[in-house]
Structure 1
C-alpha cells in the first residue's frame, strides 16, 4: 500500500480529491492533508509518504519550492501537480524537478486515476530496481568475504582500496537490539544468511587491532546473552578479507565442536595464530607405534584422546590427526579396518563433535583387544613377521625367509596361513599397503616414489593391489584424506 499526501490551499479542492480517488481499488492510503508547501514539508519530514498530489501556487511555500526542497534532501516521493491554464511555466519547472505528471484544474477523475496509476507503477519499478541492486551488492559483499571474485563494484563503491584496516566476524544472534546497534555503526557492513536463523557475516573497516579488541569487549558487555560472535584476524588490505573470514569460521566450528555452549560469547583471533597451526609433523603425536611398550593398550588409546582434548586444535586438524592415529594403530597391529577404508575416511570426515572422536578411539581399542586376544603366534611365525616388518622394502621370498630360519618353506607357509589367516604373499602385501597408506597420509612423495619405497618394482602392480585393497586409487586416497585438513 502506498501513502498519499494531498496539498492545496483550497479546502474544497482537498475535499473533492478525497472523494475522486478510489483508495481501496488503487491500494492507496490517505495519510494527511496540507494547505501549503511549508506544512506539507513538515509533514513529509515526520511521516512516510510515497505520493504527493499538490497544487503549484500556494502561500508560504509553493508546490514548486516544496518539491525542489524535497529533491535536494534526497526524498524519492512521487509528485503530481495541479495547475491552472495560466501556470504553464510553473508546470514546466515542476516537470523538470521529476514530477510524474500534471493535471489541469478542475481535475478529471479518469485522468487523476490514470496519473496515480502511473505513479504507482513508477514506485513499483523503482522498488524492483532497488531490490535488485541491493541483492547485487549483497552478493558482491558475500563474494568479497568468500574470496571468489566478482566484487569489483562493491570495492569501488565503498572505496576499499584506500582503507588499511579490515576484520571479518560471523555469528548468530536473536537480539534485535544487537542488529539495531550494528545498523548505527558507519564502519560495519553485514548481511544475514537467509539459509540460517539470524546467521550474519560482517565486515569492520578502519579499526586497528587494539581498537578492535576494545570494540569486541564492549560488545560482549553490551550483549552478554543471545549473541555469538567469532571474529577473524585483523588484515591490512581488502585483498586479505577472506583470510580473516576463514579464521572466523574455524573459531565458530571449534566452539560447537568442543561443546563450549554458553548463553553468549565473543571469540577473537586477531593475530593469525590459527593460520600458523598446521599438524603435518607427527613427531609429537601419541602414535601407538612409538609408545612405551610397557604401557597397556587402554592407556595408549587414552593418550590419543587426551592429546586431542587438551590441545587447542582446530576441528579440521582434529579429523586429520584422528585418521593419522587410526592408520598408525592399524598398521602397528596389522589390522584391517572393520569397515572399508573409504567409509572410514568418510566417517572421520563427518565428525562434528569431540565426543565422536572419543567414540572412534574407544571402538579402535575394542577392535584391537579382540584381535589380540584371538592371536597366538608361534615363535617361528613371530620371527617371520619381524623379518617382514624390517625388510618389507626388499624383494622378499618365503623360501629365503625359511632358509634364514632353518625351516622348510612349505611348512613355514602353512604355519603363517594357519596363524594369520593369510598366505605369506597376502601378509606381505597387506603390510606394504599399510605402509603405503601411512606415506600417502604423511609424506609429499609421489605415488611412484612410494611404490618403490615399499618394495614394488612395478608401479602398475602397486596401483592394482592398492585399488583392490581400498577400492580407490592411491591418488584418490590421498585427495580424500587431504580434504580433511
Structure 2
C-alpha cells in the first residue's frame, strides 16, 4: 500500500518499477494516514510505502498506531528531506528503509527485493511451524503412524526423547507467551500455541517427570502473582499411548466447565497424582476397560482407591478422581445414556467416603453390563457406526463411509469425533480388536488367521495395535482369559 498526500507521487510510485516482477501486488493507494489506518482495520498487507510528512499525521505516527493494533508489515519511509530524528524514530519502529525524494529507482528495487526475501523466509518458517504443530495435534489425537511420527521428531532439534508428559497451560495471552518461551529456552520445543487458542499452550514435555515438576515449581515462583493454571497429564514411555494421557487433560477441561465445584482449586493440577510421590494408574485402568473383563477392571479400581485411602486423600480429591474414572467408563460404554451420565455424576457428588464411591463403581459396572443397546448417538453417527460394525473386515475408511452416506468427509469426521470422542479409524480399530478378543477366547484360530479375519493384512501391525489398546499381546490375552472372562 502507498500513502502520500500528493496525487502525482502516488501515481509515480505505481509506475516507477514493475511491482509484479518484484513479487508484489499494489492493493491500495491512499492520500492520508487516516485512510491507511481505516484500510488496515480489515485488510492485511506485507509492505507499506509512506511519505513521512503529511498534514494530519506523519508516516512515523501511522506506523506506530498500526503496530499498536498488532498490524504486521514492512515499511519504507519516503521524505523530501533528510532529518536524523525522523530516521532514528523510524528505525526504532522497525522501518526497513528511509528513501529521499525523488526516489532512486535502483535503491527502491534493492530495498523491495530485500523485503521480498525476508517475507519468503518468514513464510517458510511459518509453514514449517504449521507443519510441526499440525503433527503434534495429530499425535495428541492418536492419528499418526510410525513413519509419520519419526518424520515429526526430525522437525525438532531437541526435546524429543521419551518419557513424554502432555500438559496444558492456561492464562491471558501475554503470560501464555512467556510460559511458551520459558519451556522453549529449556529445550522443550514440542508446543502448540495460538492456532487452537491464544489463551492456552499445549506442550508435550520430553524428559523425566521429576524434572518437569521442578520446572513447574520455578514457573510457580515466576508467576506467583498472576492468574493461571497448568494441567499435567500422566507421564508415558510409549509414544503411541500419549493420546490417552491427553484425553485426561481434555476431560478435566470439561469437568472444570460443567462441575467446577468438584475439582481442586489449584494452580497446578496433576491428573494422576494423589500426593507428590504416588501416581494413579489411569492408563492401566483404560487398558483394563478395553480388555473388558469385569474382574480385571475391578482390580484396577481397587488399586486406585487403595492408593487414595493410603494417601488419606481429601473428599474433594476422591470425587475428582471418581469423576475421571467414570468418564472413562462412559466414553467406552455407548450403552450408557446421557441420563445415566447425569445420574451417576449426581451420585458421585453426593458420595461422602472412599468406600461409598468405590461401591458406586460396582453399581456402574453392573448397569453397563446390563445394557446392550446403543442410545446416545445421532442418526448420522449411528449409520457410520453400523457401517463399521457390518464391514469391519473390509477396506473401509472415513471417505468411503461419507460417500455411502452422501456426506462430506470433513463433516462426518467432525461429528463422529465429537460424539464418540474417537476418530473413524480409531473406532474401527476398537471394533476390530474387540472382535479379535472374541476369536482369541472362543476359537482355535492362530494369530495370523485372526488378524486376517478381522481386516488386518499385516499380523505385526495387528499385534502392535492389540497391545497398544489392551496393554498385553494377543497370546497373553488368550492365555490369561481363556478359562475365565466375564465380559463388561
TM-score w.r.t. length of structure 1: 0.42
TM-score w.r.t. length of structure 2: 0.42
**Bigger Rg, which one:** 1
